[in-house]
Structure 1
Amino acid sequence: MTTTYAALLRGINVGGRKKVPMAELRQLMDGLGYDGVRTHLQSGQAVFASDHGDEESLAAELGQAIQHHFGFSVDVIVRDHAYLAAIVEACPFPAAELEAKELHVTYFSAPVDAARFAEIDREAYLPEEFRLGDRELYLYAPDGLGRSKLAEHLAKPRINKGLIATTRNWNTVVKLVELTAE
């Protein structure tokens, strides 16, 4: 059975480092036998279909191929359409009432529990807020991610230890659902 996925590449094409041209990424993914490969923006989203593997094995396969082809390591998270759609449906914030720059989702490579975030004094960061899902974190940052003190704290290595974590704004979250539904 063929499943449609989104691959989320962490930290590429930012500040002139880890350059991954999207056309080259599409060719690389085609070469891995993926079908219908498309990319979205330059910041590391690709959509593809595959009839082999699961999210973890596909992420590992793509990560290894990127390392071999480009000569540097890139963290990759792969999620299927059903999961991406569930993220949008489960959003604990009023997404329709917010600007895309205010709402973000951090995707994690594995399930996270509240204990990782217990030391955060949530009231100290208000009006910024976050809510946990299973393998995702929703972040409301009214002044945007770049100015968010809470986002800065959430990105600390001790909180994300042992995980791959990559964040996307709400527009990208919704667009990935649309692209993987096609």
Structure 2
Amino acid sequence: MPTYVAFLRAINLGPTRKFPKAEIVAATEAAGGRDVLTHINTGNVRLTTGMRSRAKVEAALERAYLEQTGFEVPTIAYTPAELAAIAADARELSAARPDRQRHYVYLLKDEPDAEVVAEVEARSDDLNAVVVRGRAAHILMGPGYQAGNVDPFKTERSLGVATNRNFNVVVTLADKWCS
């Protein structure tokens, strides 16, 4: 059965969007997921399923999560190979920018078109960089990043449905779940 790593957007952000790990596991199993694992309480889920389409997996999880929580939970799924490639890109980009203070990876539901990629990457400056590779956008923030042209929230809005994780979470999950 295929394995997926799913990232849940906008959960546990306040009193009205609580979604504890035990409930995430139960809802994922209700959607047909097996061998369900979670990592920290920010919506990182590994599962196996008989579904072979990423879109079907995301839709099934989103339905189950809505039923469990009463609110929509956008879900972005990757195969282990896709997540491993994102982590490899993250490592490469971080090594090329040893001065970085923060590295966020925006995980995208859909790959943005070339025009959007060009627009967000053009925001890069001497302090910060935006690099889009497929369904992931890397935002590397350097010293004094607040003075730069890259606004992570504006960038995320430009890219469509997305959720972000920091460098450490992405590489940890790839090492843990994608080997």
TM tier, shorter chain? 0.7 to 0.9
Equivalent-residue separation in structure 2 for 1:144 and 1:45 (angstroms): 30
Matched with 2:134 is: 134
Contact residue 117 and residue 132 of structure 2 kept, 8 A = no
Out of 100-109 and 14-23, give the one that drifted further: 100-109
Matched with 1:150 is: 151
- Displacement of 1:112 after TM fit? 1.3
For the pair 1:172 / 2:169, whether they are aligned, the reply is yes
Equivalent-residue separation in structure 2 for 1:145 and 1:63 (angstroms): 35
Cα distance change on mapping 1:179 and 1:154 into 2, 3 Å: same
- Displacement of 1:179 after TM fit? 3.2
Q: For residues 124-179 of structure 1, give each alpha carbon's deviation from its aligned partner in whole angstroms, at most 9, with x where no partner exists.
A: x53111111111111101369999852132133xx23xx31111111111122123
Matched with 1:77 is: 76
For the pair 1:12 / 2:11, whether they are aligned, the reply is yes
Equivalent-residue separation in structure 1 for 2:37 and 2:95 (angstroms): 26
Cα distance change on mapping 1:77 and 1:100 into 2, 3 Å: farther
Q: TM-score, normalised by structure 1?
A: 0.83
Equivalent-residue separation in structure 2 for 1:77 and 1:144 (angstroms): 31
Contact residue 28 and residue 65 of structure 2 kept, 8 A = no
- Displacement of 1:117 after TM fit? 4.5
4+ residue segments displaced more than 6 Å: 144-148
- Displacement of 1:72 after TM fit? 0.7
Equivalent-residue separation in structure 2 for 1:76 and 1:50 (angstroms): 15
Extract unaligned runs of 5+ from structure 1: none
| Amino acid corresponding to residue 175 of structure 1 in structure 2 | T
SS at match of 1:15: coil
Contact residue 80 and residue 180 of structure 1 kept, 8 A = no
| Amino acid corresponding to residue 176 of structure 2 in structure 1 | L
Identity percentage of aligned residues: 27
Cα distance change on mapping 1:79 and 1:153 into 2, 3 Å: same
Matched with 2:24 is: 25
Contact residue 4 and residue 77 of structure 2 kept, 8 A = yes
Q: For residues 87-126 of structure 1, give each alpha carbon's deviation from its aligned partner in whole angstroms, at most 9, with x where no partner exists.
A: 1223451349759961121111111134115445535x53
- CA RMSD of superposed structures (Å): 2.8
| Amino acid corresponding to residue 126 of structure 2 in structure 1 | L
Contact residue 14 and residue 43 of structure 1 kept, 8 A = no
Q: For residues 4-59 of structure 1, give each alpha carbon's deviation from its aligned partner in whole angstroms, at most 9, with x where no partner exists.
A: 21110001001333110111111121223312111111111111111323211101
| Amino acid corresponding to residue 64 of structure 2 in structure 1 | A
Equivalent-residue separation in structure 1 for 2:146 and 2:178 (angstroms): 30
Number of residue pairs aligned between Structure 1 and Structure 2: 176
SS at match of 2:41: coil
